Chains A and B, each alone.
Chain A
């Protein structure tokens, strides 16, 4: 929803679109400014590129290629370059879903695995 200030044009979301000078990234969107960086491996495909995740207040806000990583030498693909958005994506699956009466409903891991085993076994006879 747009606020009345935004509709009139008093507000142009300038804070949301501000820039900053980050000690690691240099001049960049203020959204990307991190307090600390955590080295990890990209989880998308099996190449295993080295990446660093920028963390601010326990949230992942940025990602960059791991400069000295032998696999990717600091480069990332477009998916890797935007990987931090995935972690908090609103449509990310965070628990198993099981179709009950035509609707997907969240279930526990035990129930999910039990149903899978049951269905696999049923198909093996």
Chain B
């Protein structure tokens, strides 16, 4: 009989009674009322870092071992012998203002009306991974095998059937539970969503309530901040951005020449048009599900990704009209060039706005916008010179001035990163000075050579500038250090993000 076994003599010890408690006490005994939603409560003081929650989550959702919708990290601090280390287990924070949902171009995300759970549809998702850039906690994760993103849904299917989520169920310490939260009151005061090792809850109004141990010292922080590795280079996006900006810059230069009354050749518009078109048609290659690319304009009211696609499509139309008018010798080319200029400005701005997100601090600045426009100004005039479409002094000086401005932009940006006190910005500077140092030097060298050759060989100058801008955009992607929750000391970066 179990009651005679020695361990059960300890059943008045709270840890044993916890195991024997009705597990339903860890989830609310009623559904959320209007104005309420479910949220996680996580108790750092009881978590032992065993990762049962992580494994139970993977079992529940059938995920491969390298994708973890719930992750366990470590925070530590203090000076010997007064040192502390705690574990924290985090799933999705089911935010009041989910950045993943706001940015999603296809409306794959919904915030469930009755439970407040942020749900993701794998069938609607096109695998653009924009949500993985928008979330300050690194919650949505791209599943390479499926070509779509996935994330914690608080075991919506279990919770609504009155069962505890898998992580709650598996925790031997009862450290994870589900609570009800008054959404309006949480909007006003959500300080208990903040904890050492967690990005600020202001970013998207995280709802997870965190209980810190009473004896916790203030100087706790992530254990993993010294291990910073370059992010994914996204080569297809480097290609897309640099070449669409080249094309936008070229048509802006056409407009300038039109305004100056310069007569342009019939073939002048064709090369920049073809380059822009190739870049745009290669864009779906970035998606996990390229065939569904057309869906990406659906969320134009909220998502800069949807707006980018709309604006760049408008640009493609306007650029085709202008290049066609030049080719056919039609009148009113000045107005058509102005149309291409306007659409190009909108397109480049929408591209830049995609990257200006709170979760990726080194992208989240005006430098990104300036960088993208200057890429257009560095490459646009140069392709006209290289193709022999123009030999106007203004175009030469425009290209030279833009190149100097771009070099200055990146020098000032680097100084901003390096002198920042924020971990993610400092760490970006660290990458640029460290493992990416050679590429940084190569970029400046290429810009310099491109300036020196500009007035002698526009073709060489164009090729050098194109290389410089490509390396620079590659560095833009590699050197970003995203905000995320604490991981463990030994977790390889990128294993779960």
Contact = CB atoms under 8 A, between A and B. Distances in A.
- Is the interface on chain B under 10, 10 to 19, 20 to 34, or 35 or more residues? 35 or more
A81 B20 contact: no
B5 interface: yes
Contacts of A6: 147
Contacts of A17: 61-62, 122, 146, 150
Contact of A26 (B147, B163, B292): B163
A19 interface: yes
B317 interface: no
Contacts, number: 91
Interface string A1-38: 01000111110111011010100001111111000000
Interface stretch (A67-75, A99-107, A117-125): A67-75
B122 A78 contact: no
B54 A13 contact: no
25 contacts: A8-B289, A8-B290, A8-B291, A9-B287, A9-B289, A10-B289, A14-B123, A17-B62, A17-B122, A21-B161, A26-B158, A28-B158, A29-B61, A62-B59, A68-B2, A70-B2, A70-B7, A73-B20, A75-B172, A77-B52, A78-B50, A78-B52, A78-B54, A81-B59, A82-B55
A55 interface: no
A79 to B, nearest CB: 8
Given A6-B147, A9-B290, A81 B170 contact: yes
Nearest to B6: A70
Interface residues of A, number: 32
A76 B16 CA distance: 14
B71 interface: no
Contact of A9 (B2, B8, B58, B127): B127
A67 to B, nearest CB: 10
A73 B19 contact: yes
Interface centre among A8, A26, A29, A71 (most CB of B within 10 A): A26
A77 B50 contact: yes
A17 B125 CA distance: 14
B55 A27 contact: no
B126 interface: yes
B74 to A, nearest CB: 16
Contact of B126 (A7, A9, A81, A82): A9
Interface in B253-291: 287-291
A40 B59 CA distance: 19
B307 interface: no
